[in-house]
Amino acid sequence: MSENQQKRPALYLAEYESPEALAKAAMKVRDAGYKNWDCHSPYPIHGLDEAMGLPPTKLGIISFICAMLGLTTAVLMIWYMNVYDYPLIVGGKPAAMSSFPSMVPIMFECTILFTGFGTLFGMLHLTRLPRHHHPIFESDRFEAVTDDKFFISIEVEDPKFDLDRTRSLLESTGPSHVELVEEAVA
């Protein structure tokens, strides 16, 4: 990036020394009514979702729907193949579901396959990934999030974002450092 390139504020980044301090700060930010913000930590923190006010994940519902779709697809596929595609009558038994035990592995595998792909793509959709660049990576201090630091970021796109009020809110939560991260204007 060249020296004379224009920059604009992208987000505030507050750094904390412990997960407890991060959780307390998250509750203050949540209670202040911010919507476009996030917590960053080197490992999952029990209770942080509640502190942030996040609703329960919908990933389980997506996975269940995909599992039922996989099972239904397997049953319909087997039925179609046995009745229309290649009807083979063995011992005078009807062709539809003549040997159910031999079909269980196919139904199981299709259920697992659809569940796996549904969970993967559902997670990517819910987390809005892949996102190849985020302004938070412009901060040199943010590299410590993979080691031993904890961060809260509040983005400029938040309806309540104000340079002065947001900074004072973050400073009132007791961070070890507050930084305004800027991004280049295209």
Question: What number of residues does the chain have?
Answer: 186
Helix H or strand E segment including 14: strand 7-16
Q: Quickly tell me which residue has 């203050």 as its tokens.
A: 28
Q: pLDDT grade, residue 125 (50/70/90)?
A: very high
- 93 pLDDT higher than 80: no
User: Could you count the other beta carbons within 10 Å of the beta carbon of residue 154?
Assistant: 23
Higher-pLDDT residue of 69 and 79 is: 69
CB-count burial class (<10 Å; 0-12, 13-18, 19+) for 17: middle
Beta-strand relationship, 150-155 and 37-40: antiparallel
What Rg, from alpha-carbon coordinates, does the chain have?
Answer: 26
Q: Which tens digit of pLDDT belongs to each residue from 21-35?
A: 999 999 999 999 999
Q: How many CA atoms does the CB half-sphere of 184 hold within 13 Å?
A: 9
Q: Which tens digit of pLDDT belongs to each residue from 134-144?
A: 899 999 999 99
- 4 pLDDT higher than 90: no
- 75 pLDDT higher than 80: yes
- 89 pLDDT higher than 90: no
Q: pLDDT grade, residue 132 (50/70/90)?
A: confident
- 81 pLDDT higher than 70: yes
Q: How many CA atoms does the CB half-sphere of 39 hold within 13 Å?
A: 29
- 160 pLDDT higher than 70: yes
Sheet holding 177-184, edge to edge: 37-40, 150-155, 7-16, 177-184
User: So what's the pLDDT on residue 100?
Assistant: 79
**What is the sign of the dihedral through the CA atoms of 146, 148, 154 and 156?**
negative
Mean pLDDT along residues 62-77 = 97
DSSP β-bridge partners for residue 179? 13
User: Could you count the other beta carbons within 10 Å of the beta carbon of residue 183?
Assistant: 18
Mean pLDDT along residues 151-178 = 96
- 99 pLDDT higher than 80: no
User: So what's the pLDDT on residue 88?
Assistant: 76
Higher-pLDDT residue of 52 and 98 is: 52
